[in-house]
Structure 1
Amino acid sequence: MDDPLTAIRQAISRPGRETSDYDLNPGTVLPEGRVLKPAAVLVPLITGAGGARVILTKRSSRLKHHPGQIAFPGGKIDDTDAGPIDAALREAEEEIGLPRRDVEILGTWGAHETVTGFMVTPVFGQIRDGFAPVPEEGEVEEVFSVPLSHVTDPAHFCIEGRIWREVRRRYYVVPYGPYYIWGATARILRALADRMAE
């Protein structure tokens, strides 16, 4: 394919079920009437001579929630946001200095439910050439990228588990070099890998 993101566009256009942090834990009983907070993340894709890459962040180790974890830029949808796309672009500008004018939106898909009570809409966007990340010091420790081919190959994923709130929880992991990509970030990437494999 001439455009390395053609497969992404095709994958986004296919119907697929919503995902959640509970996918690998089918015995989980969720409380009825739970209220989930809407959120959005940008899945930023950049192309170059080496092919397509996904930009990720390493959260600051000083943060109260999810310190040091690998994540997409994003956060909760504020009342002032026009919707998930607007929220994802705002958060990416705040967290990694990505101007919204430099992002071509490729599409979105169904929200991902997290164990922390969020419904996260993944927003896929292609970044125009020349982007130089500027991490927000209080929130982002590092901005890095991984090959799209790595995180869309199901063979690179494994399932691990740990005790969380006195219950063993299983989740996807897709390590890359020194980076331990897991949880909701890995689950969204695994959903992308599955759609691209169809």
Structure 2
Amino acid sequence: MFKFTSSEVKDLIIAFFVISLCFAILYAGRNPSGIVAMLPIVMVGVGLGFILHELGHKFVSMKYGYWAEFKLWPQGLLFALISSFFGFVFAAPGAVYTYANYMTEEINGKISIAGPIVNIVLALVFLAVATMIYPSALYSGTSALIFIVCSLGFSINSFLAVFNLIPIGNLDGSKVLTWNIGIWIVTIAIAGIMTALSMTMGVENIVRLILGI
């Protein structure tokens, strides 16, 4: 059964808010009014990206019969907040801990890759919505706002996927690489290309390319 503890829910809420704040600072700079205006917009992309990433790990863990629980990493949250003032976000607010007496490399790899795959799928969904809404965003304020939210959602989720697939330390990439190098190469390549495109072309130009305009 897919269950949550009260402490897990509290940790998820805290991590969600702080990580959203970090990305708001990253995009708005040190302007307080800009951060306040950006925060609700960023919450959609970061909120869905972060929460569903962790739930991806939890769901797959519990699918294999293990108990899994998200736990906050206060030092990671602090570092993420500090790093946001220097033009990047080290997004490691916590992790889903899977409790098992024994786990194969394959199962550990599948649990680990679930989070990045969620981010990749979310990024593509945001891009699809941005593409559909773009024509009306040129003259509608509401559509323009939705386009901005989706643009950030694509960029942030692409970044979260590629970041978590880096094969260092306890990040997902280390476990996926140990399990299956081919799957790791494919997933980090997809996430890396998406991130590179969002940083170089920008989402609007990607959308215009898709629409052929």
**TM-score of the superposition, structure 2-length normalised?**
0.26
Relative contact order higher in (CA < 8 Å, ≥ 6 apart): 1
Which of the pair is proportionally richer in helix?
Answer: 2
Which of the pair is proportionally richer in strand?
Answer: 1
